[in-house]
Structure 1
Amino acid sequence: MKSFLRLAIFLIGIQLSAQSTPWSEDLITTPEKTNYQKTSTYAEVMDFIKTIQSKSNLVHLEFMGTSKEGKGIPVVVMANPKISSAEEAKNSGKPVMYVQGNIHSGEVEGKEILQQLMRDILLGEKKHLLDNQILLFAPIYNTDSNDKMEKGRRPSQEDSPVEVGIRANSQGLDLNRDGIKMEAFETQALVENVLVKWDPEMLVDLHTTNGTWHGYGVTYAPSYHYAGEKAPYDFTWNTMLPSIVKSIDKNYGVKLGPYGGYSLRQGWPAKAIYTYNHHPRYVVNQMGLRNKIGILSEAFAHDRFYKRMNGTYGFVAEILEFTNSNGKKIVEINAKATNDAIENVKNNAGKAKKGVRFKMVPLEDTFTLRTYDYIAYNNDKGEKRYTRSGKIVEIPNVQNYSKFEAEVKSTLPRGYFIPKSMKPIVDHLKKHGVEVTELTSSKRAIGEEFIMSDLNVSKRKFEGHFMANAKGEFKSKTKRFKKGDFWVDMAQPLSNLIFYMLEPQSDDGLVTWNFFDDYFKENGIDSKPVAYPIFKYYKLKK
């Protein structure tokens, strides 16, 4: 018995010693070294990754692409045993989970906690997170703008840290509005060399809010897309996130709540919160159209830097705990969603209708909102105003506007035909991972042609574009397509994404982003109706 006790004490001592063994200085991140006054430069992130590489045989480093200024965009692949290629990952049978930080360079905690998590997963107490999954981390996605640091960039973060980078990339583009048009070097790299190449079952995108004084350390949103399959969203919203809400509170002392802001113009207490839009230009939302899970993480801007890091670290850690335990279930749900999308095309083309333009509506159930309280007062003019107190309260029966209803629907086709003159459209689809076939012989198709009566173009520029809105109607037609034209069979995994990009009335499709403007103008849209060049068919004619 005494021998057993001595052995037990000895083993406990080894465990405690291992837990308290200090890291070497080169494994301490920039915020940790500077009392959370500074955030990492690109060079410091790369030095940290190289240090991790030198100390672990479970890490592979590759670059998804190169920025405009020539910086490699690192992707750290962690697996046990080591995985060095997407093919090896597929052969392993383990699901791939992808997390990225720094899409907006002023929102820095994602970049920092991914370094901390690399350290803890590869060298510390979280090695078990590689038992059942392969993890891909891109800590510094917006590489160029990270180092363009100045004070006062994000007032809601209250100079914590003192200096941060800028929101847009070096092309002046918001990387989180580029998911469909793919004009940024970074977006092209992400889609082609992460989403298509590695085919992750989940994407987590790490942000900081812009200022709403809610009472959560972190807020979340799933992949909003009601033109996609519902199962991945349902699992994320009804099972995954509620579980993580409990575990992060227990393990990290962080309150987690749904993403959204409220307006004091509606009075106080708050009656409703409103999420962001459903468009797949947002990378998280596009995951829904890819039959995968997407999660948005938004740290509370008004917390100090170290507290935002703790909340974001806890959220990502608990997400990865969940996926490590439920990875097989997630793979099954996503695979079924893909199969359901394909079967829907095969069985319901020409009959089923799907949304292409949406409006925001409240969820059926209300919820209890945790938020800072506001005090009402009358100003000198007798007008009612509100000022925030330091007290956090809970408001029951608040509506959550995070659901989207179709305002315009379009018939689901069996596929599309694209004339050979539109090869740039084909090239763009292929970059997204869409399968396109070049015709080697002619085909006749029965379907519908969209006759555009008007193309309303915004007078205000957004992300370098004057957004377009097509008006017109579909008319039945049989058309012949020749050798050299292109054929998109919709019975493929990305059918929902294809539909949303190619439907002319889509609120975030290729028409919206001006891909066809020159064609319409050359064909006289200002003076007469013009046929949309992409033909949707329901049946091939022999």
Structure 2
Amino acid sequence: MKKLIYLSLFFISFQITSQHVIDHNLLTIPEKSNYEKTSTYAEVMSFINEIQKKSDFIHIEFMGTSKEGKEIPLVILANPKISNPEEAKLSGKPVFYVQGNIHAGEVEGKEVLQQLIRDILLGDKQHLLQNQILLFAPIYNTDSNDKMEKDRRPSQEDSPIEVGIRENSQGLDLNRDGIKMEALETESLITNVLVKWNPEILVDLHTTNGTWHGYGITYAPSYHSVGESGTYNYTWNTMLPEITKAVDANYHVKMGNYGYYYLQESWPPKAIYTYNHHPRYIVNLMGLRNKIGILSEAFAHDRFYKRMNGTYGFVAEILEFTNKNAQKIVEINAEAEKNAIENVKNNAGKITKGVRFKMIALDENIENYRTYNYIPFIDEDGKQQYARGTHIIEVPNVTNYAKFEATVESKLPSGYYLPKSMEFVVNHLKKHGVKVEELQKNKTVKGEVFLIDSFKKSDREFEGHFMATAEGNYVSKTTTFKKGDFYIDMAQPLTNLIFYMLEPQSDDGLFTWNFFDNYLASKKVNSKKVEFPVFKYFKK
């Protein structure tokens, strides 16, 4: 009997001691505070510095520095250790990037990425470094993270008690800056992560603001619009369905399509509506770069620990999928890049592509949409109102407005010419990774120029801009460009991004963001027709 007791105690002791016990310094702030607090910038950096001492598979660099002088950490996890993009390329493993805290009030991603760093390096997820190199940016919006106050996000019901603010210290929303790249953080992300490390996937971690849907996490792919369909199709039809099932099975979290419904439209909801297609959103920008983008939105009304569990589960299962399908993802993205370039070579001057879009419904409805119920009632004025109920229902056959159809199109060129006076535009394109040739001698070319008939600016300010729109048409012209002017060959990887940024009628291009306002004003655009200073060229 004594032997049996000793044997039982031995096995119990073995099971306990075989579990990984971490140092208290590697607990995150939510874990230490019973999920009442979120990490400060100093606490995130302390965590990173502490875990760096305990593993050979971590490298830390900084993608940039904020306005207030805080370095933005980029954590590179790889086995064996990788310290630069050249080593990553030689390893043959693809790079995948995940960022948290783009909006500093939405803190789940920041905390979850710390947990995942810990679990990948020291815990039960070390296998995730077999076939991939992982780049994590846990605290992207460094400055605003520490501007913490109560009641900052009412839908989170003070869970945690205090969080930071949405905009960065320049007053900019970092998730509206993908094209104009005015924020120091955005320029750092694009130049020192997307261009430098060239990740195959970007995952952006958020928390929703309001709708009482019935999902712990909602998601969206990169809406490709003028991009290639291959990356979108793989994300939407293969990746997300498989990952959704895995998150439900392993983390007991229901996931569904990102979208909002409106009680004033109908109850129960007949339709949900996603966010816009614009590449000002970082996830959508990836589609124009022939890469995969995934948006994660934790359910704001859940308690903090539940939002963390859902976000952790989603990211973990994304990484399980990418680890298993790493080379397939590389192939999908490479095919998209090849198709984009071949489309220019074969079809420039023959086809048009969308520059303005409207949201339309997907062909397939959501079979059963989960949402908290609402109770209709008549108020004292005799009007019908709704009180939110306490349980989740499933509404059948809900239309999903998550597709975009072109309303304005423009002809795909072989290339664009820009005069030397537009060098600031060229430099902006270069920061995005666009290849630009400077002319070494004068060159006369036939092509088209957009003749602006009307130029308007919005009455309302948005992100420090009064958005511009143009009406007009392209006319044939022969022009001589001089030595020192610029030519952009469209047969290059970022061709779809270039097209979207340079077309004057694009709904999220450089024209929209006022890059050409000073030029147009100098030409007295409101009193006469003015040529847009970007020349469209077509090879014969």
Question: Please, what TM-score do these two structures have when normalized by structure 1?
Answer: 0.97
Instruction: Give the structure 1 partner of residue 133 of structure 2.
Output: 134
**2:49 alignment counterpart:** 50
Question: In structure 1, what is the Cα distance between the partners aligned to 2:154 and 2:502?
Answer: 40
Is 2:528 aligned against 1:519?
no
Distance (whole Å) between structure 2 residues aligned to residue 349 and residue 442 of structure 1: 24
What is the aligned partner in structure 1 of residue 490 from structure 2? 490
Residue in 2 aligned with 1:85?
84
Unaligned runs of at least 5 residues, structure 1? 1-8
Could you tell me how far apart the structure 2 residues matched to 1:502 and 1:455 are? 16
Q: Judge conservation of contact 1:105–1:167 (CA < 8 Å) in 2.
A: yes
Change (3 A) 1:362 1:427: same
**In the alignment, what sits opposite 1:211?**
210
Corresponding residue for residue 469 of structure 1: 469
Structure 1 contact 374–388 (Cα < 8 Å) conserved:
yes
Percent identical: 70
Corresponding letter in the other structure for 2:473: E
Q: What is residue 200 of structure 2 aligned with on the other side?
A: 201
State which drifts further: 157-166 or 442-451: 442-451
Quote the Cα distance in structure 1 between the aligned partners of 2:309 and 2:162: 19
Give the letter aligned to residue 116 of structure 1.
Answer: Q
2:403 corresponds to 1:403: yes
What is the match of residue 502 of structure 1? 502
The alpha carbon displacement at 1:490 in A equals: 0.4
* Equivalent position SS for 2:337: helix
**2:152 equivalent in structure 1:** 153
Task: Indicate the residue corresponding to 1:283 in structure 2.
Answer: 282
Q: Give the superposition deviation at 1:380.
A: 1.4
Q: CA deviation at 1:10?
A: 9.3
Q: Which residue of 2 aligns with 1:449?
A: 449
Deviation string, structure 1 residues 481-509 (Cα, Å, up to 9, x no partner): 11100000000000000000000000000
Given the alignment of the two structures, is residue 120 of structure 1 paired with residue 119 of structure 2, yes or no? yes
- Cα pair 1:446 1:539 within 8 Å, conserved: no
2:434 alignment counterpart: 434
- CA 388–13 in structure 1, closer or farther in 2 if over 3 Å, else same: same
1:530 matches 2:530:
yes
Aligned residue type for 1:64 = M
Structure 1 CA distance for aligned equivalents of residues 10 and 353 of structure 2:
65
The residue aligned with 2:65 is 66
Alpha-carbon distance between aligned partners in 1 of 2:85 and 2:446, rounded to the nearest angstrom = 40
Letter in 2 for 1:84: S
Q: Secondary structure at the match of 1:396?
A: strand
* Corresponding position of 2:17: 17
1:30 and 2:29 are equivalent in the alignment? yes
Counterpart of 2:459 in structure 1 is: 459
Could you give the per-residue CA deviations for residues 362-395 of structure 1, whole angstroms, max 9, x where no partner exists?
1011012100011111111221111110010000
For 1:349 and 1:14, the matched residues in 2 are separated by 68
More deviation, 288-297/368-377:
368-377
User: How far, CA to CA, are the matches of 1:446 and 1:102 in structure 2?
Assistant: 48
Supply the distance in 1 between the matched residues of 2:321 and 2:296 (Cα, whole angstroms).
Answer: 16
In the other structure, the counterpart of 1:235 is 234
CA distance in 2, matches of 1:365, 1:346: 34
* Residues 363 and 403, structure 1, Cα contact 8 Å, conserved in 2: yes
CA distance in 1, matches of 2:198, 2:16: 39
Alignment of 1:169-184 (within 5 A): 169-184=168-183
Instruction: Report the 3-state secondary structure (helix = DSSP H, G, I; strand = E; otherwise coil) of the residue aligned with 1:364.
Output: coil
| Counterpart residue type for residue 422 of structure 1 | M
Q: Quote how far apart the aligned CAs of 1:22 are.
A: 2.1
Structure 2: state its 5+ residue gaps: 1-8
CA distance in 2, matches of 1:377, 1:145: 42
Aligned residue identity for 2:49: K
Moved over 3 A (4+): 9-16
The CA deviation at 1:455 is 1.1
- Give the Cα separation in 2 of the matches to 1:18 and 1:283: 42
Q: CA deviation at 1:478?
A: 1.9
Moved more, 392-401 or 381-390: 381-390
Q: Partners in 1 of 2:181 and 2:109 — Cα distance?
A: 23
CA contact (8 A) 1:78 1:135 kept: yes
| Distance apart, 1:476 and its partner CA | 1.2
Q: Does 1:383 align with 2:383?
A: yes
| Alignment root-mean-square deviation, CA | 1.4
1:180-201 Cα shifts (integer Å, max 9, x gaps) = 0000000000000000000000
Q: Aligned partners of 1:383, 1:104: CA distance in 2, in Å?
A: 37
Paired residue for 2:110? Answer: 111
Q: In structure 2, what is the Cα distance between the partners aligned to 1:425 and 1:60? A: 35
Matched residues in 2 for 1:18 and 1:298: separation?
35
TM normalised by structure 2 equals 0.97
1:107-142 Cα deviation digits (max 9, x unpaired): 000000000000000010000000000000000000
Count of residues paired in the alignment:
532
Partner of 2:539: 539
Cα deviation, 1:263-289, whole Å, max 9, x if unaligned, reads 001121000000000000000000000
The worse-fitting range, judged by mean Cα deviation, of 471-480 and 526-535 is 471-480
Q: Which residue of 2 aligns with 1:100?
A: 99
Residue identity in the other structure for 1:360? M
What is the CA-CA distance between 1:526 and the residue it aligns to? 1.2
Verify: 1:165 aligned to 2:164, yes or no: yes
Q: Secondary structure at the match of 2:325?
A: helix
Q: CA deviation at 1:65?
A: 0.3
State how far apart, in whole Å, the 1-side matches of 2:128 and 2:539 are: 48
| Alpha-carbon distance in 2 for matches of 1:17, 1:249 | 30
SS of the counterpart of 1:248? helix
Distance 1:10 1:337, change over 3 A: farther
Residue 354 of structure 1 contacts residue 409 of structure 1 at CA under 8 Å; is this kept in 2? yes
SS at match of 2:264: helix
Which residue matches 1:4? none
**Which position in structure 2 is the counterpart of 1:369?**
369
In the TM superposition, what is the alpha-carbon distance from 1:14 to its structure 2 partner? 5.6
1:447 Cα deviation from its structure 2 partner: 1.6
SS at structure 1 position matched to 2:539: strand
Indicate whether 1:338 and 2:333 are aligned. no
Shift of 1:16: 5.5
In 2, Cα distance between equivalents of 1:316 and 1:14: 31
The alignment partner of 2:53 has SS state of helix
Separation (CA, whole Å) in 2 of partners of 1:274 and 1:473: 32
- Aligned partners of 2:97 and 2:11: how far apart in 1? 36
What SS does the corresponding residue of 1:473 show, helix, strand or coil? strand
